[in-house]
Amino acid sequence: MMNLKVFLKWLFVLNLAILASYLLIKNIVNVDFSYESYFKIENLIVILIVPVIEEFVYRWGLVFSPKSFAFMLVSIPVIHLTSIIGLFYNTMEVIWLISIISIVLVSVFVYFFLSRRIKDNISFYSQFHKKNFSIIFWLSLILFVLSHYSNYEQYSFFIKLYFLISIFFSGWVFSKVRISKGIWFSILLHITFIFTSGFIISKI
């Protein structure tokens, strides 16, 4: 159930942390980021879709169910494998398209197979998830951060560190919210945070 007070509390904490860290890094390296591109029409769809994908990939499986855990086990490797392929081939090349389509088709088959297997052995996998929850939690968070690394390769060390630490903290919050309030709550918080943080920093 949506709790407005909890939502606003975490939204305030996230934006306060981003604002404080941004002011710090801005003074250290004397750099100015432009967030105006956030609000261009062509970027709005991406801003709305990417958080949904990220929340399902990295956080849906934090609360155990056969479907959510199977999806996490399949989708995280797929996301990072496609990123690795992108290092060797330009997007939209034939070999890139063939590789991505092949990976997606195989992953769909593996997902249904794995979810059925988990459902048939739900007691074992439920205990496995519970016993190894800390590893699952922190590994998914670290992989979430690493999935953003290539976005900031062109920046200096301090700016790159700022972004990665910010992503780590926000990802930790999204994970905690997903566990306590549900996946749709964390998705809404994620999307809202992107818009509000971009707006606040663009006005500094």
**How does DSSP assign 72-128, residue by residue?**
HHHHHHHHHHHHHHHHHS-TT-HHHHHHHHHHHHHHHHHHHHHHHHHHHTHHHHHHH
C-alpha span between 102 and 108 (Å, rounded): 10
Which three-class secondary structure state does DSSP give residue 132?
A: coil
- Enter the tokens of residue 18: 């981003």
Contact 111, 61 (CB under 8 A): no
Which three-class secondary structure state does DSSP give residue 155?
A: coil
CA angle in degrees (0–180, nearest 5) for 146-152-158: 100
C-alpha span between 22 and 33 (Å, rounded): 9
C-alpha span between 57 and 38 (Å, rounded): 23
- Enter the tokens of residue 53: 């994908």
pLDDT given for residue 103 in this prediction: 80
Contact 113, 120 (CB under 8 A): no
pTM, two decimals, is: 0.85
pLDDT given for residue 121 in this prediction: 95
Query: Residue type for 157, please?
Result: F
Query: Residue type for 55, please?
Result: E
Distance of CA 115 to the CA centre of its chain: 22
In this prediction, the residues of the chain whose per-residue pLDDT falls under 70 are: 1-2, 24-43, 87, 89-96, 202-204
